[in-house]
Amino acid sequence: MAKMKAIEAAAKILELEGVTKAFGVPGAAINPFYAALKGLGSISHVLARHVEGASHMAEGYTRANPGNIGVCIGTSGPAGTDMITGLYSASADSIPILCITGQAPRARMHKEDFQAVDIESIAKPVAKWATTVLEPGQVPGVFQQAFHIMRSGRPGPVLIDLPFDVQMAEIEFDPETYQPMTPYKPAATRIQVEKALTMLNSADKPLLVSGGGVINADAAALLTEFAEVLNVPVIPTLMGWGTIPDDHGLMAGMCGLQTSHRYGNANLLASDFVLGVGNRWANRHTGSVEVYTKGRKFVHVDIEPTQIGRVFGPDLGIVSDAKAALELFVEVAKEWKAAGKLKDRSAWVAECQERKRTLQRKTHFDNTPVKPQRVYEEMNKAFGRDTTYVSTIGLSQIAAAQFLHVYKERNWINCGQAGPLGWTIPAALGVCAADPGRNVVALSGDYDFQFMIEELAVGAQFKLPYIHVLVNNSYLGLIRQSQRGFDMDYCVQLSFENINAPELGEYGVDHKAVVEGLGCKAIRVFKPEDIAPAFEEAKKLMAEHSVPVVVEVILERVTNISMGVEIDAVNEFEELAEKGEDAPTAISLLD
């Protein structure tokens, strides 16, 4: 057996588990790990400006491609606490990332040593597993187990905390004998699938609901194939957006209180049966359980047993990895189709398509200041089918889900459940690091953009180019809109007269100056007719300089975006589309 430092074994295991890139910020307590990475030479490193930023970069990296696991590294104390938001975000959306922290030597951990904190206890509620390794000989097993846990069952993040003396200790470790552990993934049985299909086949107006678990399982093609064999419409959740192309005849729209289509809600409400795969019935998708479930039966397929019945009890629950279930669903459905057992769904599909054709929101506004709907219309024109959108939270993200188009899995990368402001920039950089040739377009409101704006310097330093669309209304727009119910507009205005940028009027922060100061390029737009030329210029600047390029669009201060408290009671604050020219980039034109 070969003798080496425990931390060298840890670095080698990362390599053997397929890791090629890491994100982080070095510090004294984790320097042994950085020495091991330097000695190994096979794992490149992106230096973040903030450890929370590194954790979101790791998450964007994981989400970019099947099989990826992003790695975030930091020192002891505040580096670990800075990672907590990233761990929570990843855990909430079932995203595996590996967070590695340094720690004080074991003898000093209980003595209030400098930057010594019980990060294991802090991280446990927001991680799939968190551990402080107290014996050097356990380091290889802990790292092996970390990858096994991240990949098994419902994916999720892990934190490993490494005391300095544990890292430095010599252990026996033979890399030639190391093998990754086979992940555990439950699989549906044939009898379960046949019962589910029997229920679906007996319904008159069935739907499939496709969740983020379909993307995690790399099963989008199977989901689409299953829908096509059955000829049954699909409602993707926000996390499952892209599992069926937006322009597919069976794409029936997204359902929900905010990130939804008018036709998506209408189609769900018209259905009498729903088969959900890899979804968790999130409240912003369902609204109240009473409205969502009334008059329809449900089958729920999910990899995590405790998700079955968590929100409401389905008529049939199946614990299974989405890919394993869909492979069997396709197999049985094809057999039934060949035998002539499947119902003709053409009338139901046509009904859903007619709603998709007619229930559109207006996007073509010529107002100055710009109405946000026009920005998404111009984005649809400017950015192609292969574009990967990255966004986080707020009115900008909600409107994006209502108006943008996604045609492929992993082309909508969104922090769904946690929604931390500031996530967008580092996550977009993580996507670019995972796939340097990818067309990445990020979208932020001004407050999300300001939260972790310093990470743009990472894009400049490491040549991670993408386009960032910044819609600026100088407001906490979503919170302002929600405050309407309290009859107030309080502590949500970001506006002020910037003495250094009088051309901005009351719009406050000079984002263009800040972006350029961080080594990137920026374009500011005030009029709707200037948006398209700005996007074209941004593409040229990105190609020329290989840095992030920000296109800031100055919006009208107050716009209320469609949303409600129930899926049958969404408030439409703006004009609706009555003819094709009202929504020229909608998937289905009205005329």
Q: Which residues are catalytic?
A: 25, 51, 421, 476, 479
Report CA-CA distances (Å) from 367 to 273, 363, 374, 449: 43, 11, 9, 24
Q: Helix H segments across 98-219?
A: 119-123, 139-151, 164-168, 190-202, 212-216
Query: 129 by DSSP, 3-state: which?
Result: strand
Whole-angstrom distance, CA of residue 227 vs CA of residue 41: 46
Amino acid symbol at 342: L
**Can you read off the two tokens belonging to residue 235?**
């409602």
- Element of type H or E holding 553: strand 549-554
Estimate the share of the chain in helix, then strand, then coil, as percent rounded to the nearest 5.
45, 15, 40
Report CA-CA distances (Å) from 52 to 56, 118, 128, 422: 6, 18, 18, 9
Whole-angstrom distance, CA of residue 313 vs CA of residue 127: 26
**Can you read off the two tokens belonging to residue 333?**
């459905």
Q: How many CB atoms lie within 10 A of CB 491?
A: 9
Residues 6 or more apart whose CB falls under 8 angstroms from that of 279 comprise: 209, 210, 211, 212, 213, 237, 239, 240, 285, 300, 302
Beta bridge partners of 413: 390
Residues 6 or more apart whose CB falls under 8 angstroms from that of 276 comprise: 208, 209, 211, 298, 299, 300, 301, 302, 314
Query: 96 by DSSP, 3-state: which?
Result: coil
Residues 590 and 353: beta-carbon distance below 8 Å:
no
Query: How far apart are the two ends of the chain, measured CA to CA in Å?
Result: 74
Whole-angstrom distance, CA of residue 414 vs CA of residue 258: 14
Residues 429 and 458: beta-carbon distance below 8 Å:
yes
Whole-angstrom distance, CA of residue 239 vs CA of residue 89: 13
Residues 487 and 513: beta-carbon distance below 8 Å:
no
Beta bridge partners of 390: 413, 442
**Can you read off the two tokens belonging to residue 361?**
């929101």
